[in-house]
Amino acid sequence: MKLTDSAGEWLRLTEHYRKLTDEELLKLARQPSSLTDDARQVLRNEMSARRLELPPEEAPTDERPAYVEPDPDSIYAEERELVQICTVWSLRDALQLQALFDTAGIPFYIGEKKLTRVEDGAMNFAEGVPVGVMRIGYPWAQEAMRRYEPVDEPPDFKEEEKEIPVTCPKCRSTDVIFERGSPESQMGKQDYTAKFEWTCASCGHHWIDDGVVKEK
């Protein structure tokens, strides 16, 4: 490129960046790979003139809903009841199970304190640590458990198999049809607000639940 062309491009960029808002400049600064060397330098000059600094990006938070005992008067109390899905006997098995549930976006609660992370507290794995999920999420938790391969489970231990049916909150029938919705991860982040839609084949009642109890 000729020197005159380079100077002209520099002036064009300078004029262009002067017309941008602070927010637009900061947005460009977050995408340096999309800019030419001249554009990056002119952008730095304009930001310096305005005393703009690019704030550090916030790390994504790993928010996990704490378990709250459901209101017994709620029509969803039974669906939000905590049921045990398995027992883990070592830290590495607990972390393996946590990774499976996280990938599937299924809230789980481990130990007597109902922790939402294995790392959040000390547990006596020698005696077996219970892992629970909400009744409404049990079918998906069972599916995730198909990939669980415990390493430290005692050879004489036999986990009791359970079948936890979903019941209609209106007529309590177990003749329930799952319509749509399932826990799934989005953009590498666990989604703990997935929606579940159900229809009762007995009374026709249709309802939506997220399987997560929120504090009022």
pLDDT on residue 193: 45
Mean pLDDT, range 38-42, rounded to an integer: 91
Same domain, 45 and 92: no
Number of neighbours of residue 88 by Cβ within 10 angstroms: 25
Same domain, 36 and 95: no
Same domain, 97 and 145: yes
Same domain, 40 and 109: no
Same domain, 89 and 174: yes
Give 162-188 pLDDT, tens digit per residue. Answer: 555 667 777 767 677 766 554 444 333
Within a domain: residue 70?
no
> What pTM, to 2 d.p., does this model score?
0.53
Cβ–Cβ < 8 Å for 128, 94: no
Same domain, 145 and 188: yes
pLDDT on residue 108: 94
Same domain, 128 and 177: yes
- Under the banding of pLDDT at 50, 70 and 90, the label for residue 58 is low
Give 111-158 pLDDT, tens digit per residue. Answer: 999 999 999 988 999 999 999 999 888 888 988 999 999 999 998 877
Mean pLDDT of the chain: 80
- Under the banding of pLDDT at 50, 70 and 90, the label for residue 75 is confident
* Sheet (strand 109-110) strand order: 82-88, 129-134, 109-110
CA-CA distance, 60 to 189, in Å (whole number)? Answer: 8
Within a domain: residue 71?
no
Contacts of 194 (CB under 8 A, 6+ apart): 105, 181, 182, 183, 184, 210, 211
* Residue located via tokens 């229809």: 199
Query: 27 is in which domain, residue-wise?
Result: 3-49
pLDDT on residue 195: 58
pLDDT on residue 15: 92
Q: Which residues of 92-127 are buried (b: 16+ CB within 10 A; e: fewer)?
A: ebbebbbebbbebbbbbbbbeebbbebeeeebebee
pLDDT on residue 187: 34
- Residue 214 reports pLDDT greater than 50: no
